[in-house]
Structure 1
Amino acid sequence: MAKGKLIAFFFLILAYTGVAQEEGKRTSSKVLGTAKKENRAGLSTAQAHQRFLDSANIYKKSDLEKSIDFIAQSMESLDALGNKRELSSSLTALGEIYMYHKQYDLAITNFKDALAASPSNKTKLLLGKTYVLHGEFEKAETTLSPLLDVKNMVPYRRVELYEAMGDANIGMSNPRRAQEFYQEGLRVAEKNQISPKVIDLNSKIADTYASENRVVEAEGFYQNSLNLSKRVAPERLIQESERVADFYNQKNRYDDEIQLRKKSLNELQQLPQSKVSVESRGVSVSDTITSQRINYKIANAYIAQDKLDEAIPYLEKSIVEANEEDDLIVQKDATRQLSEVYRNKGDFTKALESYQDYVAVVDSLYVRKEQELSQAARFNREIANTQNRISSLEQERELNQSKYSLAVTEQQLFEETSKRQKWIIYSLVFGILLTALTALLYYRSNRQQKLANNLLALKSLRTQMNPHFIFNALNSVNNFIAKSDERSANRFLSEFSVLMRSVLENSEEDFIPLSKELELLELYVKLEHSRFSDKFDYTINIDEQVDVDAFQIPPMLLQPYIENAIWHGLRYKEEKGFLKINLKQLTDTLLEITIVDNGIGRKKSAELKTSNQKKQKSKGMGNIKKRIQILNDMYKNKVDVSIANLNDNQTGTKVTLKLKKD
């Protein structure tokens, strides 16, 4: 039916072609005249286009939104016919902005679009470097390898090419080949007196030797980088000194590390800003070398030598400086380390005081993380809106070019009457294909946006889960302290610090090995059992057929269910209950995890809640439901959870979780 309507439509066009011929000529001439007029005007827009790009580069580091807006204006300034080279330069500049701000996916997309518009060695090099930063090392090597055969490349760009190839091979665990590229880049840099790159490449060659445990060669190149950096600037000397100090730390040469870091500390204190921004591969890194960080590392070196008395002043100074600079990360780590030092010295009073300070800092850090997540969400929305605007501009340009091509085609059709019908059909087919392509691009854009939103929501929920767990677990610590049970409190604190460290280490991961999750859960249940030993016993049974290393699971997925079983089921049971955690592999790709308790049951637990508790929903369980929903949306029903009563009288609870292997 649709095919018949299309054929009828074609015949209708043919019937009216003769009548519309003169009108078509006038319309075609008008369109072509306008396009040519715009083209003549476009010859004078080259300078305006370059000015917009220069302005975008000025604001690249300080104002992302304004910088991208200038890129959009540079694309708007191009005429209807378009200039592929100028368009490519705009897209390349946009990719560099996203690359600087670590939006690597967007940077890669724009670099690809720029290469599609007009191939450029500079853009290919930037694309390869972005692949390295994004961890796609094979794609980086594939992109950069053809550039090795390019002749007459600018020396600085040639050095960047060898450096990027070395970085890609480091990512692919091929240090020997990486070393060859770094050596070649160093040769070109020394020949052309490119001092910053000479220092960078000496350090990277030293890193490759260090990774192969060739200490003598590594130390030689590190010494070269130190000597060269002394001629450049104090900031660069501090950067290289810290890298060499890290090397000494890895090799357990703590005295050398401490001596070098103390020199860096003196150099840093003489600088007006008292901190040094770290630059790597031309892209700003969200890290700085500060006095509080160096003091913290010096203290750790003393601790590694069991010189606790020497470490304490540096830890205290690091905490004070971090507090003055509002550096909560260093303040948190230094306060925790100071608490452990006092504990190891046997001064439990100061250890407790430091630990309480640590808890307060963690609380402040959690509030700040929530603010940063909110800012990141707003930042991503602004970037998405701006990127959509630029995409619309590009689609509009393509549409204008299509109109121009159609006008030329119409003029040729009117000049060649014998080919009129054929060209009309081709134009219609082209229009249909263009519409389908536009629809496809729009569909893909929506899918990518949905994926980005899911990832952001998942990260936000995961970030909320960890503090929720920590704050609940701290109640158990407080219980022992309140009972003045010093030995139990000390033991509990030690085990709890191990548990909390594991939780924080896994907080940035979407999935972790099931074995890690089980270790964390076993430690958590052990801690809870030490508090409620008269309320329940527990067992963790893992079927022999279960390969725990083969499965991946979202961190902290099982803990809220176990916490509910203990706190809302077993704690209120008059006689001693039990908690069973069983793992059974149903198929090669499907694992079943059951959490069973013979507590008072969900119904009676709800009845025991106060009116205030009934108004508040469990934040942990609510976040778990949202996480499972997002994970199943992203990974096609990877996780399935069901909750049921254990007994007919509505006592006891059984939670069944089924996990699919990727």
Structure 2
Amino acid sequence: MKLLAKYIPFLCLVFSAGFMLAQERNDVISTEKRFAVRGSVVESDTNNPIPNVNIEVSGGAYTTTDAFGEFRIEAKKGDELIVRQKDFETVYYIIKNSERIKVEVQPNKMDEYESELFKSRAATQVFKSLIDSAEVYLKKDAKKSIQFVADALKDSKSVKENSEAYEVLGDVYMHWKQYDLAVSNYRISIQNRATNTVKIKLAKAYQLNKNYQESLATYNDIDKTELSNWQLVVLYEGVGDVHQNTKTFDAAIDAYTEGLKVAQKHLITPKVTDLNSKIAQVYDAKGESQKAKGYFNESLKLAKTQNKKRGVEEKIKVADFQNNLSDYSSEIELRKEALEAINEIESDSVFDNESALTPQKQNYKIGNAYALQKDFGQAITYLEKSIEEADDKEDLIVQKDATRKLSEVLRDAGKFDKALVAYQKYVDLVDKVYSKKEQEISQAARFSKDIVSKQNRILSLESDRALSESKYQLNIQQARTQKLIIYSLIGGVLLLLVTAFLMFKYIKQQRLANNLLALKTLRSQMNPHFIFNALNSVNSFIASNDERTANKYLSDFSLLMRAVLENSEEDFIPLEKEIELLELYTKLEHFRFKDKFDYNITVDKNINGSDFVIPPMLLQPYIENAVWHGLRYKKTKGHLNIEITQNKADEIKITITDDGIGREKSKALKTENQQKQNSKGMGNIKKRVSILNAMYKDKVDVFIDDFQNKEDKGTKVIVTLKKD
């Protein structure tokens, strides 16, 4: 700091080379939305960082520059940035967007190393420009944003820059709801350089990925005394969110209340509104309606003082609360007010169909409230508006729900002909929704595959960087060993041994990676195969106009799908979870073919389900084959038995038997009708078992034979599973 005493006491405010790219953000940043502003304070002649400079934003946020002269602070458009330090005059600057700000302290004269320093600074500016570009495209184009981060990593010159790049990569995955990848990249960022900002983001990513204990541990690991007021509020809010997700409501209220105290003390108005609203929601979930009502009234009053969009969001939350209380008049009044505001702000904002702030959803809910009041005329008017708007905006979900509700209202109003027409339209919309869902599943699978591919390339880039560094060190070692022949020979032998060991280890790891990739691919093929079979079942119910049966089937199917998707990334899951999946799946199959078979699932009481693990969905294809290719074609009602026994301390046996038509008749029937292809599920299972046995030394054994010596021979499948 002694050098600063010689400097002229005035500052020049400049922006990074990526400023022009960052201007594109102005189209999407709301005037009230808070964002991170990055910047640095440096000596203009040497570009040396100036640490411990006071950085403040009007409204309460405060921080200082770190050892690298850099800072990051939360602000919103229109806030005043104040830069203070005893060795130069205070700088005041109005924030316009999430630009990267650079404050340069100018000396009396330039020194002789200017050109070299300029080159170094230019290289840094390239990195910052690429990071700025990645942030610009973060919400627009995930692939392009990830590519900018990859390019930035190539130009990264320090662990600090590595940390920043992986943080932005984590932000990309967070926005696109790839929470597991966000967790991985935030952790890499922290490994390079730990900051409280990234720790808070990591804790949030853990929460959204349902790693609740990891989220709480990360929040608790943060030193609260190092946080700005805004960060402290965000931390308490995050802890409250985790407790609310885990239904520990008292702990959630305590955390939200602590955050509310800090926000009120430091006049952080947006968070005061949010936390009042969240406390109200927790009390509502606890069934304490009066307390919830008090907090909702406060949040609604505060939201009205903010921008219109925030006010509308809170009105909709309170309207939902009024609906739960059956106070339909208050609900209708709030939703009408919200609808007027939505129509006003819709020209300036873009709401996708997933948002609650769409006219079609609010008209639908108003119509539903009128229907609950038996005011069928008003209900019909608003439901028809909802259907028309949903049709214009291609919102099939709302259009379907509103059409169904309209049919019910018309029926209750005694207009049976119109009710029948509306119901027929509803049935047609259901078909369109299922068709659209299939397309969305396919698109989501392709998107996820592309994202994972790009992430793997980035990790490969990091591996190449490490390999290049290793080669550089090897060349230095070789240059030194040339001076000493004896040491050269010894070093060469050691190098060959190390290289051989590394190659062996690399080949082993590569084989493991290939096996894991193959398992993941096979699992990803199982899910669509299973989903499409289930959807065919739903379609048959709908085709027969059995809506109630279809709804019940869908309800059970959704439970099964949730469990399947939660376990889809695991090589093994506890046996007790697989048994739950089997019970759900067999229940669904029996639901459709009640007249074809009965089933029984028997589990040895001596088996501890948590002691054994099993590949997820390993047994489902065998049960599927038993039902679809054996029992379904049996002339009399058949039986399906699933028995799990333990003959040895480290081994269990799972026996699946059916008295269906048998494998030979099933194959002959397929060939004769030429209607179906061979089961993909069975082929996938054989490959999975083969790979798993190669990786875990014969952990799973499968034996298939005829079940009995009768006309309907049936099939017996014995799966032997060994403990780790």
Shorter-chain TM-score above 0.5: yes
Residues 111 and 340 of structure 1, relative CA distance in 2, 3 Å threshold: same
- Give the alignment partner of residue 311 of structure 2, picking from 213, 226, 237: 237
Partner amino acid for 1:579?
G
Q: Secondary structure at the match of 2:243?
A: helix
Identify the match of residue 463 of structure 1 among 531, 534, 548: 531
Aligned-pair CA distance for 1:444: 6.5
Aligned positions of 1:535-554 closer than 5 A: 539-540=598-599
* CA distance in structure 2 between the partners assigned to 1:464 and 1:578 by the alignment: 26
The residue matched to 1:289 in structure 2 has which SS? coil
- Corresponding position of 2:200: 125
What are the residue-to-residue correspondences of 1:480-519 with 2, within 5 Å? 492-503=546-557, 506-510=560-564, 514=582, 516-517=584-585, 519=587
The alpha-carbon deviation at position 505 of structure 1 amounts to: 5.7
1:48 corresponds, among 102, 126, 132, to 126
> Does structure 2 conserve the Cα–Cα contact (< 8 Å) formed by 1:275 and 1:290?
no
Q: Please list the CA deviations of residues 156-203 of structure 1 after superposition, one character each: whole Å capped at 9, or x if unmatched.
A: 222212211222232343222222222222222233333322222111
Does structure 2 retain, via aligned residues, the 8 Å contact 1:569–1:605? no
Aligned to 1:333: 401
The alignment status of 1:157 with 2:225, answered yes or no, reads no
CA displacement at 1:97 relative to structure 2: 0.8
Task: State the partner residue of 2:19.
Answer: none
Q: Which residue of 2 aligns with 1:188?
A: 262
State the secondary structure of the residue aligned to 1:580.
Answer: strand
AA at the equivalent of 2:207: V
Q: Out of 26, 48, 58, which is 2:136 matched to?
A: 58
C-alpha contact 1:137 1:168 (8 A) present in aligned 2 = yes
CA distance 1:366–1:124, change in 2 (3 Å): same
> Contact conserved, 2:316 with 2:335, CA < 8 A, in 1?
yes
SS in 1 for 2:273: helix
Bigger RCO (CA 8 Å, 6+ sep): 1
The equivalences for 1:70-469 within 5 A come to 70-78=148-156, 82-151=157-226, 153-273=227-347, 277=351, 287-301=355-369, 311-339=379-407, 353-406=421-474, 446=514, 449-450=517-518, 452-469=520-537
SS of 1:198's equivalent?
Answer: helix
How far 1:39 sits from its partner (Å)?
Answer: 11
Whether the aligned pair in 1 keeps the contact of 2:603 and 2:645 (CA below 8 Å) is no
Gap change, CA 1:445 and 1:585, over 3 Å in 2: closer
1:580 aligns with 2:639: yes
Paired residue secondary structure (1:460): helix
**Deviation of the 1:464 alpha carbon:** 1.5
Q: Distance in 1 between matches of 2:354 and 2:510?
A: 34
Task: Give the CA deviation at 1:55.
Answer: 0.9
How far did 1:136 drift? 0.5
Output the TM-score relative to the length of structure 2: 0.67
The residue number in structure 2 matching 1:622 is 679
Compared with structure 1, are the counterparts of its residues 164 and 605 closer, same or farther at alpha carbon in structure 2 (3 Å cutoff)?
A: closer
Q: 1:645 and 1:440 mapped to 2: Cα distance?
A: 41
Letter in 1 for 2:292: A
Q: Distance in 2 between matches of 1:380 and 1:121?
A: 29
Contact 1:461/1:627, CA 8 A, preserved across alignment? no
Q: Secondary structure at the match of 2:639?
A: strand
- Tell me the SS of whatever aligns to 2:200: helix
Identity %: 30
- What is the distance in 1 between the residues matched to 2:667 and 2:121? 76
One-letter amino acid of the structure 2 residue matched with residue 622 of structure 1: S
CA RMSD between the two structures: 4.5
Shift of 1:227: 1.2
Number of aligned residue pairs: give it.
Answer: 580
Classify 1:377/1:144 alpha carbon distance in 2 versus 1 (closer, same or farther; 3 Å).
same
AA matched with 2:194: P
Question: Residue in 1 aligned with 2:23?
Answer: none
The more displaced of 178-187 and 90-99 is 178-187
Question: What are the superposed Cα offsets for residues 82-106 of structure 1, whole Å, 9 maximum, x if unpaired?
Answer: 3111111111111111111111121
The CA distance in 2 between the partners of 1:142 and 1:300, in whole Å, is 43
Residue 622 of structure 1: CA displacement? 3.4
Contact 2:224/2:232 (8 A) holds in 1: no
Show the counterpart of 1:29. none
TM-superposed deviation, 1:135: 0.7
What is the DSSP-based 3-state SS (H/G/I as helix, E as strand, rest coil) of the residue aligned with 2:222? helix
Change in CA separation of 1:648 and 1:632 when aligned onto 2, cut-off 3 Å: same
Q: How far 1:457 sits from its partner (Å)?
A: 2.7
Residue aligned with 2:253, SS? helix
- Seen in structure 2, the aligned counterparts of structure 1 residues 596 and 134 have a Cα distance that, compared at 3 Å, is same
TM-score for the superposition, normalised by structure 1: 0.73
How far apart in 2 are the matches of 1:198 and 1:425?
Answer: 68
Distance (whole Å) between structure 1 residues aligned to residue 439 and residue 126 of structure 2:
39
From the two aligned structures, give the one with the greater helix fraction.
1
User: Runs of 5+ in structure 2 lacking a partner?
Assistant: 1-114, 565-577, 694-698
C-alpha separation in 2, matches of 1:412 and 1:426: 15
1:100-123 Cα deviation digits (max 9, x unpaired): 111112111111111111222222
Distance 1:474 1:217, change over 3 A: closer
